[in-house]
Amino acid sequence: MNALLLDAGNTRLKWRLADETQLHSLAYDEGFESVLRSALPSSVDVAYLACVAPPRIRDIVQRVVLERAVRLSEARTMAQLDRLQIAYMQPAHLGVDRFLVLLECAALQRDVLIVSVGTALTVDFLRADGHHRGGRIAPSPTQMRAHLASLSAALPASGGAWSPDQPFATDTDHALASGCEGMAIALITASLEAARREAPETELWIHGGGAQTLLPMLPQACMLPSDVVLRGLARWAGLPCSDVTGYTPGR
């Protein structure tokens, strides 16, 4: 069966065929619909969609996909699936992208703290037995910078650098990087410490568009694959999945 996997995030769409490794990505810029129509495969048997994008984007993706797919199924967060049992009392309140990442990671049977750095910074604690212990949500460093820049023209939305060894900056752009990225690092570090009080061997796994910026300041962290949501979507759809025995995300 020729299956298409799609992940409609907050700012871009990612997709790949289930039996291929090549990952495609497209931002929601002007002309998104026409570019998407030319970029997707011309024909597939079935498509599976994970969507946290605005309704307008969901409508475009569904319309374009159904022009070439016999069937389209959209993933929804479930209270329990396979080994995973989420902590939220109301499953619909947990974003489907976070749910699918948890579903993929639950198959690995490890105590993990999963951090996503995108439009938001999300943290989820998952036990090796598949029990999700809950999570945290905060603005990502990029969104912190953008908000501050919207309030004052003197505060640039990007630029600057810092390191934990030199947290006190001597210029505004460096100070903004130190403050906004430092807040993210502090939240992640505090969350990892809390998780390790319950499960001392908890590992830190990170993914998302802003993960590479924070990775050097998190020496214990490992990068999850950029298609981790699609991997979880394949599990949700019941498609054949790669063997995860002994799988360790690469840095």
pLDDT of residue 250: 43
Backbone angles phi, psi at 40, to 5 degrees: -75, 155
pLDDT of residue 249: 52
Mean pLDDT confidence for 133-144: 96
Tokens encoding 198: 């319950």
**Hey, how many other C-beta atoms are within 10 angstroms of the C-beta on 109?**
14
Per-residue pLDDT band at 38 (split at 50, 70, 90): very high
pLDDT of residue 247: 52
Q: CA-CA distance, 100 to 102, in Å (whole number)?
A: 5
Catalytically annotated residue among 7, 97, 111, 124: 97
Q: How far is CA 66 from the centre of its chain?
A: 25
The residue ranking higher by pLDDT, 154 or 130, is: 130
Element (H, E) at 33: helix 32-39
Active site residue 97: yes
Per-residue pLDDT band at 245 (split at 50, 70, 90): very low
**CA nearest to 188, candidates 86, 117, 111:** 117
Mean pLDDT confidence for 180-203: 96
> What is the residue-wise DSSP string for 141-153?
HHHHHHHHHHH-T
Q: How do residues 117-135 score in pLDDT, each as one tens digit?
A: 999 999 999 999 999 999 9
The residue ranking higher by pLDDT, 103 or 155, is: 103
Q: CA-CA distance, 10 to 26, in Å (whole number)?
A: 12
